[in-house]
Amino acid sequence: MSQITRIPIDSIDRRADCRIPDGDTITNLAESIEAVGLINPIRVRRVGGRYELIAGSHRYAAVDSLDWREIPAVIVDDDDLHAELAMIDENLCRAELSPSDRARQTARRKSIYEELHPETRPTSEGGGGRNNQTRRQVGDDIAERFTANTAAATGQSERKVQRDAERGEKVVAAAHDLVRHSRLDTGRYLDELKRCAPEEQVERVRRDLEARVSRAKRVSSTTGENAALFPRFCKLAEEMTALSNADLIESAGQQRSSLAGWVSTLSDKMDVLWAEVGK
């Protein structure tokens, strides 16, 4: 078991690539910590005579807001890649990540994992190949596949991990920057976007964002429509809950891939909605 040490708050630095902490989350955590104390210590490593925060950014910010002078921490000897991997894993465990953020974090995790374990890359990508029977027969240790390792670390299914990694890899960074936290930031939209040629993706997002703005202006001119949204949502939720999964899949027939797309979109939408409702 890792030893927990109390270290000075003012001796800790955040990583440059650390996510910006959410203000509401910090406030709620601070209230909890003030009531019951800090249950889970932060994770840090020594860098140049100070400590670099690896995991626990919100906990650190909450404790700092309470004017504590010291904070419980686990001090590790992680190198740069392992430190970034630990930070990403904590981010991926958070429900409020948007689909774009989750996709980019998952893709980055895959890049790091395959750098640490090149044997997990497909042979087509220069890896050693996981199905090499000779290596298995001589008893060489081979790391588990990326999706299995990530699923175990984050509590996600392997299918979801694979889907998020593809969204992060196949959509260019500039397109992700435009999509992030916009009305287009959904799994279904990212799946559509990844099918576009990389050089066409940014222009596609710009067109779609402009179309959304125009549509929103038209809708805003109509009053009273939002009042009916919640009752409509409740009715749809009741109908969805009553559906048998087996019957729905059977009914989809040859359109099963379309069903999978809608299920993916609903899953992402509910994740974001749950995070917003819980604030």
**Helix, strand or coil, per DSSP, at residue 97:** coil
Check residues 262 and 35 and name the one with the higher pLDDT. 35
How far apart CA 24 and CA 42 sit, in angstroms, is 19
3-state SS class at 71? strand
Q: CB of 163 within 8 A of CB of 110? A: no
| % of the chain surpassing 70 pLDDT | 85
* pLDDT score of 135: 39
Q: What is the pLDDT of residue 261?
A: 79
What is the per-residue pLDDT for 24?
84
> Is residue 141 very low, low, confident or very high in pLDDT (cuts 50, 70, 90)?
low
Quickly list DSSP for 99-110. HHHHHHHHHHHH
Q: Where in the chain is the domain with CATH 3.90.1530.10?
A: 4-77
User: Could you tell me which residues come within 8 angstroms of residue 111 by beta carbon, excluding any fewer than 6 positions away?
Assistant: none
| Local confidence band at 263 (pLDDT 50, 70, 90 cut-offs) | confident
- Mean pLDDT in residue range 64-89: 93
Name the pLDDT band for 248 (thresholds 50, 70, 90): confident
DSSP of 14-66? E-TTPPPPPHHHHHHHHHHHHHH---S-EEEEEETTEEEEEE-HHHHHHHHHT
CATH number for the domain running over 4-77: 3.90.1530.10
Q: Which of 76, 66, 70 is nearest to 7 (CA)?
A: 70
**Are 61 and 92 in contact, with CB atoms under 8 Å apart?**
no
pTM: 0.67
Spell out the residues 6+ positions from residue 109 whose beta carbon is closer than 8 angstroms to its own.
Answer: 85, 88, 89, 92, 146, 150, 165
Spatial contact of 167 and 190, defined as CB atoms under 8 Å apart: yes
Mean per-residue pLDDT, 125-143:
51
Six token digits for residue 194: 């990844």
DSSP state of 8: E
- Is 142 a residue whose pLDDT tops 60? yes
Is residue 170 predicted with pLDDT exceeding 50? yes
The answer to whether residues 186 and 205 touch, using CB atoms and an 8 Å cutoff, is: no
| Residue 22 CB coordination number (10 Å) | 17
pLDDT at residue 124, rounded to an integer? 61
Q: Does residue 243 register a pLDDT over 90?
A: no
Where does residue 62 rank: exposed (0-12), middle (13-18), buried (19+ CB within 10 A)? buried
Average confidence score pLDDT of the chain: 84
Radius of gyration (Cα) for the chain, nearest Å?
Answer: 22
For the cut 90, the answer to whether the pLDDT of residue 20 exceeds it is: no
Mean pLDDT throughout 141-147? 81
Handedness of CA 103, 109, 111, 114 (dihedral sign): negative
Q: Which of 145-159, 188-202, 223-237 has the lowest mean pLDDT?
A: 223-237
Look up residue 209 and give its amino acid: L
pLDDT in tens, 194-224: 999 999 999 999 999 888 776 656 555 555 5
